[in-house]
Amino acid sequence: MRHSPDVLDYEGVFPSKRSRPDDAESMGKGVFKEIDLDKPSQRPAEASDKDKKDEKDEKPSFMELEAGQWQAKRGHGLTFALLFVFSIVLYLRPYELIPALSGFKTMAFWIGIVTLTVYFVTQLAVEGNLTARPREVNMVLLIGIAGLLSIPLAIDPSEAWNTFVDFLIKTILIFIVLVNVIRTEQRMKLLMYLVLGVSIYLSIHVITDYQAGVFTIGSEETNTQRIGGAIKGLFDNSNDLALHLVTIIPLAFMLGQENKNPLRKMVFWGTTLLMIAAVIITFSRGGFIGLIVMALVLVRKLGRRNKSLAVGALVLGVVFFLAVAPGAYAGRLATIFDSASDLTGSSSQRTEVLKRSIWVTLRYPLFGVGLGNFHHKSAQELGTHNAYTQVSSEMGVAAMVFYIMFLVHPLRKLRMIERELFERNENSRFYYFAIGIQASLVGYMVASFFAAVAYQWYIYYLVAYAICLRRIYYLQEANKLEAADKRG
C-alpha cells in the first residue's frame, strides 16, 4: 500500500501542520479573544533560544523521508526465481565446475536477458513504471551516463564501449532488477544464504589449498605465490576473494545473532570464523585492513546495547587471529607501513599506480580517459588497484562523486533504522540486519581502496540488500501505524 499521510493517521508521531477546525475555534475563544496584546503582561512569550535551536535542529524521521517511495504490492515471483538462477550462475559458474556444461559459458548472459525481459513486463504490469527511484538507483544511472559520455573521448573508444557493455550496463540493469524484485525478507535471506554457501565453499578450498601447498597465483621464483579462489571470475584473484569474504562475514554473524535457534547460531558463527580464517590465509593486505575496520564497526555498534557480547567477540576474534595467522603473515602486514620490506615489490608498485591514477584524474577531470582505458596511461599496463580512482580516472570526477554517494546513502538510511530501534529498545531482526549491512558496506569501502572492483557485482548486491531492508521496515512501520489508527 502506498504510504499516504491521508490514509495513515500520524497524529502523535508526526504531528500535522494543519490545525483542525475544532482546535482553531477553541483557541480563538479561549486564548486570542481574551488576551489584550497592549498589556505587556499578557503578550505571548517569544520562543526561547533553546526552543528555537531545538526546532532548527529537528531532523525528519525515517518514515517522513521514505514516505511515498514503497508500495506493499506482491509480485515478481517469476522474476525472482530467474534472478536467483542468474545469481547461482554468477557466483558458482557451473560451466567451470561441471565438465558437461563447459560449452555453456554464455549461460549467465542468456539467463540475464530472460530475467530482464520478464522483469520489465512484470514491473509495468504491477507498478506501472520501469523502476522505483531511491537515490541509489539515480546514482547508478548517473554513473552509467558518465560512462557513456566517456566513450567518444576515450583513448580507445572500442575498448571503452566493450567495457560499458560487458560490465557497466549488465551491472546497472541487474541492480535495478535487484532493487525492485527483492521486496520481502524471505527473498533477501535466500540470496544471502546462496552467497553464504558459496563463501563457505570458497573458504574451505582456501584453507585446504594452503595446507596442501597449492598456489595458483604468482611464482616461486619471484616469491609471489598466493592462494586463488576455487571459483574463477569474481574470486580468482586473492585480493578480490578477501574483499568478498570481508563483506559477507558481518551478514553471517548477524544471521546468527538474530536467530533464536542455538544450533543455527553456532552454525552461522562457526561460518564467520571459517571466513575470517580464509581472509587471513589469502595474505591480502587490503582484505586485512577491511576486516579490522569492519570488526570495529560491529563491536562499536553492538557494544552500545550489549558490551559483554561485543568485548567477548572482540577477544575471541583476536585469539582466533593469533591462532590461525601463518608465521609469515606478520611480515606481510609490515609491508603496509614499510613498502621497502616487500621483497615482491607489489607494495611500492601499487603506491606508484595509485599516484598515477590520481594524476590521470587531475589531467582528465571531466570524462576521464574512457572506461577500461586507464592501463594505457599506467606503467606496465597495470590497473588502478583502487575502486575510487578507477572511476575517477576512467569516467571523471563527477562519476566518482556519484559512486561515493551511492556507497554512503544506504549507510545513512541504515543508521536511521538502527537509531530508531535502539531508542525504542527493540532487539528485532531489523536492528541486527541494519548493523550487519552497515558493517559489510564499510568493509567494502575500505577493502575496495586496494582493488579495482567498482564495476564488479560485490557492492551492488549489498546496496540492494540495504534498500530491501528499508523497504520492508518502512512497510512494517506503516502497517503498525494503520493498525493503531483503526484501533483508535
Answer whether residue 346 shows pLDDT above 50: yes
Q: Which residue is listed with cell 607489489?
A: 346
Cα–Cα distance for residue pair 468/466, rounded to 1 Å: 5
Residue closest to 172 by CA, chosen among 202, 205, 145: 145
Q: What Rg value do the Cα atoms of the chain yield, rounded?
A: 26
CA distance 115 to 159: 27
* pLDDT (mean) for 88-110: 85
Q: What percent of the chain has pLDDT over 70?
A: 84
Placement of cell 548472459 in the chain = 109
Read off the pLDDT band of 31 (50, 70, 90). Answer: very low
306, containing H or E segment: none
Give the closest residue to 214 by CA, choosing from 205, 223, 201, 202.
205
Q: Is 231 in a helix, a strand, or coil?
A: coil
Show the cell assigned to 309.
557480547
393 vs 257, which has greater pLDDT?
Answer: 393
Tens digits of residue pLDDT in 121-150: 999 998 889 999 899 999 999 999 999 999
What is residue 437's predicted lDDT score, i.e. its pLDDT? 96
Q: Give the DSSP H or E segment for 24.
A: helix 21-30
Domains in the chain: boundaries: 74-130, 131-483
H or E stretch covering 105: none
Helical H segments across 304-396, by residue range: 307-324, 329-334, 346-363, 387-395
What pLDDT is stored for residue 257 in this prediction?
Answer: 86
Q: What's the pLDDT score for residue 57? A: 55
Q: What's the gap between Cα 263 and its chain centre? A: 28
Q: For residue 4, name the pLDDT band (cuts at 50, 70, 90).
A: very low
Position 85 scores a pLDDT of 95
**Average per-residue pLDDT in the chain?**
82
- The residue-averaged pLDDT of 37-54 equals 49
Model pLDDT, residue 100: 80
**Cβ(393)–Cβ(150) under 8 Å?**
no
Say which amino acid occupies 135.
R
Q: What is the pLDDT of residue 319?
A: 85
Contact 1, 71 (CB under 8 A): yes
Look at residue 332 in the predicted model and tell me its pLDDT. Answer: 73
255 or 219, which is more confident = 255
Do residues 107 and 359 lie in contact, with contact meaning Cβ atoms separated by under 8 Å?
Answer: no
Evaluate if residue 98 carries a pLDDT over 70: yes
Residue 429's pLDDT band, with cuts at 50, 70 and 90, is confident
Indicate whether 194 pLDDT > 90: yes
> Higher pLDDT residue, 347 or 320?
320
More confident residue, 389 or 28: 389
> Residue 440 in contact with residue 244, Cβ under 8 Å?
no
**Residues 348-403: pLDDT tens digits?**
778 888 899 999 999 999 999 999 999 998 877 788 889 999 999 999 999 999 99
Read off the pLDDT of residues 283-325 as tens digits, 9 standing for 90 and up: 888 899 999 999 999 999 988 877 887 788 788 888 888 888 8
Grid cell locating 448: 575496495
pLDDT at 214 over 60: yes
Check pLDDT > 80 for residue 226: no
Judged by DSSP in three states, 217 sits in strand
41: enclosing H helix or E strand: none
pLDDT class of 404 with cuts at 50, 70, 90:
very high
Apex 403 CA angle, 400 and 407, nearest 5: 140
Judge whether residue 27 has pLDDT over 80.
no
Q: How far apart are CA 241 and CA 451, in angstroms?
A: 11
Give the Cα separation of 380 and 396 in Å (integer): 22
CA–CA separation, 2 and 67 (whole Å)? 8
**Contact 389/172 with Cβ under 8 angstroms?**
no
- Do 244 and 456 touch, CB atoms closer than 8 A? no
**Residue scoring higher pLDDT (192 or 283):** 192
pLDDT tens-digit map of 74-91: 889 999 999 999 999 999
Reference 445, options 462, 431, 433; nearest CA is 462
